[in-house]
Amino acid sequence: MIHSVDLYSKNRIIKVVNILTTGEEMTKYNKSEAELEAIFQQKIDSEQKIEPKDWMPEAYRKNLIRQMSQHAHSEIIGMQPEGNFITRAPSLRRKTVLLSKVQDEGGHGLYLYSATETLGIERSELISALQSGQAKYASIFNYPAQTWGDMGAIGWLVDGAAIVNQVSLQRTSYGPYARGMIRICKEESFHQRQGYVIMMELAKGTPAQKQMAQDSLNRFYWPSLMMFGPHDSESAHSAKSMKWKIKRETNDDLRQKFIDQTAPQIAYLGLEHPDKDLVWNEEKGQHDSGEIDWEEFYAVINGNGHSNRQRIQHHVKAHEEGAWVRDAMSEYKQKKLQRKINAETAA
Amino acid sequence: MTSSTETVSKQDIIDYSARLGDDAIVIGHRLSEWVSRAPFIEEDVALGNVALDFFGHARMYYTHAAQLSNEQNGTDDITEDDFAYLRDERQFQNHLLHELHKGDFAYTTARQLLIDVYNKYFLEQLEKSNDETLAAIAVKASKETKYHCRRSKDWTLRLGDGSSESHKRMQLALNDIWGYSHELFELDDLEQRLVDAGIAVDCTLLKADWLKEVTAIIEEATLTVPDQEWAVRGGRQGYHTEHLGHLLTEMQFVHRSFPGAKW
Average pLDDT, chain B: 96
Interval A39-60: pLDDT, tens? 999 999 999 999 999 999 999 9
- Choose, out of B41, B81, B86, B144, the residue to mutate when testing the contact with A (most A CBs < 10 Å): B41
Inter-chain CB proximity B261 and A335 less than 8 Å: no
Cβ of residue A109 closer than 8 Å to a chain B Cβ: yes
Instruction: Look at residue A311 and give its three-state secondary structure.
Output: helix
CA distance to partner chain A, nearest, from residue B247 (Å): 9
CA distance to partner chain B, nearest, from residue A83 (Å): 6
Cβ of residue A215 closer than 8 Å to a chain B Cβ: no
Cβ of residue A111 closer than 8 Å to a chain B Cβ: no
- Residues in chain A with CB shorter than 8 Å from the CB of B99 are none
- Residues in chain A with CB shorter than 8 Å from the CB of B110 are none
Measuring CA to CA, which residue among B137, B104, B100 is closest to residue B122?
Answer: B137
With contact defined as beta carbons under 8 Å apart, do A335 and B158 qualify? no
Q: Beta partners for A288? A: A279
Cβ of residue A128 closer than 8 Å to a chain B Cβ: no
Report how far residue A247's alpha carbon sits from residue A170's, in angstroms, rounded to the nearest whole number: 10
Instruction: Taking residues B12-19, report their average pLDDT.
Output: 98
List b or e across A146-173, with b for residues whose CB sees 16 or more CB atoms inside 10 angstroms.
Answer: ebbbbbbbbbbbbbbbbbbbbbbbbebb
pLDDT at B228: 76
pLDDT at A15: 38
Cβ of residue A8 closer than 8 Å to a chain B Cβ: yes
Cβ of residue B254 closer than 8 Å to a chain A Cβ: yes
3-state secondary structure A53-120: CCCCCHHHHHHHHHHHHHHHHHHHHCHHHHHCCHHHCCCHHHHHHHHHHHHHHHHHHHHHHHHHHCCC
- Residues in chain B with CB shorter than 8 Å from the CB of A90 are 85, 254-255, 258, 261, 263
Q: Give the nearest partner residue to B35 out of A79, A208, A209, using CB atoms.
A: A79
Cβ of residue A5 closer than 8 Å to a chain B Cβ: no
Measuring CA to CA, which residue among A60, A151, A73 is closest to residue A113?
Answer: A73
Under the banding of pLDDT at 50, 70 and 90, the label for residue B78 is very high
pLDDT at A22: 60
Measuring CA to CA, which residue among B191, B186, B181, B16 is closest to residue B112?
Answer: B181
3-state secondary structure A11-55: HCCCCCCCCCCHHHHHHHHCCCHHHHHHHHHHHHHCCCCECCCCC
Cβ of residue B261 closer than 8 Å to a chain A Cβ: yes
- Residues in chain B with CB shorter than 8 Å from the CB of A94 are 263
- Residues in chain B with CB shorter than 8 Å from the CB of A6 are none
Q: What is the pLDDT along chain A (347 residues), one digit of tens a residue?
A: 333 333 333 344 333 444 555 666 666 778 899 999 999 999 999 999 999 999 999 999 999 999 999 999 999 999 999 999 999 999 999 999 999 999 999 999 999 999 999 999 999 999 999 999 999 999 999 999 999 999 999 999 999 999 999 999 999 999 999 999 999 998 899 999 999 999 999 999 999 999 999 999 999 999 999 999 999 888 776 788 899 999 999 999 999 999 999 999 999 999 999 999 999 999 999 999 999 999 999 999 999 999 999 999 999 999 999 999 999 999 999 999 999 999 999 88
Closest CA in chain A for residue B103: A321
CA distance to partner chain B, nearest, from residue A87 (Å): 5
User: What one-character DSSP code corresponds to residue B183?
Assistant: G
Inter-chain CB proximity B55 and A148 less than 8 Å: no
Closest CA in chain B for residue A76: B36
Inter-chain CB proximity A8 and B40 less than 8 Å: yes
- Choose, out of A85, A324, A339, the residue to mutate when testing the contact with B (most B CBs < 10 Å): A324
Interval B207-235: pLDDT, tens? 999 999 999 999 999 999 998 789 999 99
Give the distance from CA A135 to its chain's centroid.
12
- The more confident residue out of B254 and A241 is B254
Cβ of residue B102 closer than 8 Å to a chain A Cβ: no
- The more confident residue out of B201 and B4 is B201
Closest CA in chain B for residue A208: B258
Cβ of residue A127 closer than 8 Å to a chain B Cβ: no
User: What one-character DSSP code corresponds to residue A228?
Assistant: T
The CB density around residue A134, as the number of other CB atoms within 10 Å, is: 8
Tally C-beta pairs within 8 A across A and B: 142
pLDDT at B185: 98
Cβ of residue A12 closer than 8 Å to a chain B Cβ: no
Cβ of residue A83 closer than 8 Å to a chain B Cβ: yes
Which CB contacts under 8 angstroms, 24+ apart, belong to A37-43? Answer: A41/A243
Cβ of residue B262 closer than 8 Å to a chain A Cβ: yes
Q: Give the nearest partner residue to B32 out of A86, A92, A209, using CB atoms.
A: A86
With contact defined as beta carbons under 8 Å apart, do A19 and A1 qualify? yes
Q: Helix-strand-coil percent breakdown of chain A, rounded to 5?
A: 70, 0, 30
Q: How many CA atoms lie within 13 A of A12 on its CB side?
A: 19
Inter-chain CB proximity B48 and A103 less than 8 Å: yes
Domains annotated for chain B, with CATH where assigned, are: 10-256 (1.20.1260.10)
- Residues in chain B with CB shorter than 8 Å from the CB of A324 are 163, 165-166, 169
When computed from its CA atoms, the radius of gyration of chain A, rounded to whole angstroms, is 23
pLDDT at A4: 36
Q: Give the nearest partner residue to B39 out of A103, A208, A326, using CB atoms.
A: A326
Inter-chain CB proximity A88 and B253 less than 8 Å: yes
- Choose, out of B29, B31, B36, the residue to mutate when testing the contact with A (most A CBs < 10 Å): B36
- Residues in chain A with CB shorter than 8 Å from the CB of B104 are 321
Instruction: Taking residues B170-191, report their average pLDDT.
Output: 98
pLDDT at B6: 58
The yes-or-no verdict on residue B69 having pLDDT over 60 is yes
Report which secondary-structure segment, H or E, holds A281: strand A279-281
Cβ of residue B251 closer than 8 Å to a chain A Cβ: yes
The CB density around residue B244, as the number of other CB atoms within 10 Å, is: 22
Q: How far is CA B190 from CA A156, B70, B88, B96, B108, in A?
A: 47, 21, 20, 18, 30
With contact defined as beta carbons under 8 Å apart, do A247 and A238 qualify? yes
| Dihedral Cα A157, A161, A162, A164, nearest 10 deg | 140
Report how far residue A280's alpha carbon sits from residue A28's, in angstroms, rounded to the nearest whole number: 57
